[in-house]
Amino acid sequence: MVTEAQVWDALAEIPDPEIPVISLVDLGVVRGIDVDDRRVRVEFTPTFLGCPALEVMRDAMADSIRALGAEPEIQVLLDDSWSTDRITAAGREKLRASGFAPPSPRGIAAPTLVQLQSNAHRCPYCGSTETRLENIFGPTPCRSLRYCGSCKQPFEQFKTI
Amino acid sequence: MNEQEQQLLMEIADDELILGWRDSEWTGIAPLLEEDVAFSSIAQNEIGHARALYELVARARGTTADELAFDRSPDEYRCAPLVELRLMDWAETIARHYLYEEADAKRLEQLKQSEDPEIAGLATKIDREEAYHRIHAQMWFDRLRDEPRFVEALERLRPQAEALLDSAQRGEHTAELADLWEEMTMVRRSQPAGTKW
B37 in contact with chain A, both atoms CB, cutoff 8 A: yes
Contacts of residue B37 in chain A, CB cutoff 8 Å?
135, 137-139, 145
- Indicate the residue of B45, B132, B135 with minimum beta-carbon distance to A49: B45
Q: For position B111, what pLDDT does the model report? A: 97
Instruction: Report the pLDDT value the prediction gives residue B193, as an integer from 0 to 100.
Output: 67
Residues of A in contact with B122 (CB under 8 A): 78-80
**pLDDT of B144-169, one tens digit each?**
999 999 999 999 999 999 999 999 99
State how far the Cα of A131 lies from the Cα of A110, in Å rounded to an integer.
Answer: 21
Mutate to test the interface with A, among B9, B21, B44 (most CBs of A within 10 A): B44
According to the model, what pLDDT value does residue A4 have? 97
* Domain co-membership, A60 together with A13: yes
What ipTM was assigned to the predicted interfaces of this complex?
Answer: 0.94
State which amino acid sits at residue A28. G
- Domain that includes residue A47, residue range: 4-76
Q: Is residue A55 part of a domain?
A: yes
Measured distance CA(B74)–CA(B53) in Å, rounded: 19
User: Quick one: pLDDT at residue A63?
Assistant: 98
CB–CB contact A78 B118 (8 Å): yes
Q: Read off the pLDDT band of A81 (50, 70, 90).
A: very high
Q: What value does the mean pLDDT take over residues A83-97?
A: 97
Residues of A in contact with B128 (CB under 8 A): 80, 110, 161
Strand ranges for chain B from DSSP E: none
Q: How confident is the model at residue A108 (pLDDT cuts 50, 70, 90)?
A: confident
- Tell me what the mean pLDDT of segment A85-107 comes to: 95
Residue B197 has pLDDT above 70, yes or no: no
CA angle A96, B128, A30 (to 5 degrees): 60
Tell me, yes or no, whether A25 and A65 share the same domain: yes
pLDDT value for B195: 66
Indicate whether A22 and A71 sit together in one domain. yes
Per the structure, the count of domains in chain A is 2
* pLDDT tens track for B100-145: 999 999 999 999 999 999 999 999 999 999 999 999 999 999 999 9
Phi, psi of A157 (to 5 degrees): -110, 125
Domains present along chain B, CATH in parentheses: 3-190 (1.20.1260.10)
Distance linking the first and last C-alpha atoms of chain B: 29
User: Do the chains contact at B128 and A134, CB–CB below 8 Å?
Assistant: no
A147 is a domain residue: yes
The pLDDT score that the predictor gives to residue A118 is 86
Query: pLDDT tens digit string along B19-74?
Result: 999 999 999 999 999 999 999 999 999 999 999 999 999 999 999 999 999 999 99
Whether B34 sits inside 8 A of A137 (CB atoms) is yes
Question: CB of B117 within 8 A of CB of B111?
Answer: no
Confidence of residue A70 (pLDDT cuts 50, 70, 90): very high
Q: Is residue A34 part of a domain?
A: yes
CA separation (Å) from B174 to B59, B63, B67, B74, B79? Answer: 30, 28, 23, 10, 10
pLDDT tens column, A145-158: 999 999 999 999 99
Domain of A27: which CATH number?
3.30.300.130
pLDDT, mean of residues A140-148: 94
Task: Answer yes or no: do A69 and A11 share one domain.
Answer: yes
- Which pLDDT value is given to residue A52? 87
Interface membership of B44 toward A (CB under 8 Å): yes
Inform me whether the pLDDT recorded for A119 exceeds 90: no
Q: Distances from the Cα of B52 to the Cαs of B63, B77, B175, in angstroms?
A: 13, 17, 27
> Contacts of residue B41 in chain A, CB cutoff 8 Å?
137-138, 140-141
Q: How far does the CA of residue A27 sit from the closest CA of chain B (Å)?
A: 17
Q: Are A140 and A18 in contact (CB under 8 A)?
A: yes
Q: Are residues A20 and A55 in the same domain?
A: yes
Contact call for B138 and A159, based on CB within 8 A: no
